Amino acid sequence: MGRALSRARSWEQGDLTVGPVDQVFAQVRQAVPGVIIERLAVTRTSDDDNVFFLGAGAVLDRVQFDTGPGGQPPFLVETDSCRVVTADVAEAVAAVSAGLRSGDVGSGGDLP
């Protein structure tokens, strides 16, 4: 993580999956102004495009965020040193926000 992306497209505020991930991203945008969200760009419609990269400042993919089809849980939040799996919107928001602010979701492990 922490590199410039060429494999993703910008995921703007009006882009929606019509799934719970939309709530996660809306709340993250409020908690971390200036967050950049990009969605994996796939070459075939059968490929999994439920992968998002979130960044702040010069680091575009500080947090990788995976969802089920249609933006459904479970959510997988990953940084270089931490991994969180949750179906809870609030917990996903907290993990992403922490990862964006510090570059790490927790202090050495998964969130409780």
Domain, as residue range, for 21: 8-102
**Does 109 reside within a domain?**
no
Average pLDDT of 58-74? 91
Phi–psi pair at 20, nearest 5 degrees: -60, -20
Instruction: Measure the CA–CA gap between 104 and 61, rounded to whole angstroms.
Output: 12
Does 110 map to a domain?
A: no
Q: Is residue 73's pLDDT more than 50?
A: yes
Q: Where are the beta strands (DSSP E) in 2-107?
A: 8-10, 36-40, 51-56, 59-66, 75-78, 83-86
Give the pLDDT band (50/70/90) at residue 48: low
Q: Select from 62, 70, 66, 69 the least CA-distant residue to 32.
A: 62
Q: Do the domain assignments include residue 1?
A: no
pLDDT for position 29:
96
| Higher-scoring residue by pLDDT: 57, 76 | 76
Residue 104 confidence (pLDDT) above 80: no
Q: In total, how many domains does the chain have?
A: 1
Q: Provide the mean pLDDT of the chain.
A: 83
pLDDT band at residue 102 under the 50/70/90 scheme: confident
- When pLDDT is averaged across residues 10-25 and rounded to a whole number, the result is 93
| Torsion angle defined by CA atoms of residues 40, 110, 100 and 16, in that order, rounded to the nearest 10 degrees | 40
pTM comes to 0.80
Question: Helices marked H in the chain — which ranges?
Answer: 21-31, 89-102
For residue 2, is it within any domain?
no
Contact 56, 80 (CB under 8 A): no
Is 107 a domain residue?
Answer: no
Confidence grade of residue 105 (pLDDT, cut at 50, 70, 90): very low
Per the domain annotation, does 29 fall within a domain?
Answer: yes
111 in any annotated domain? no
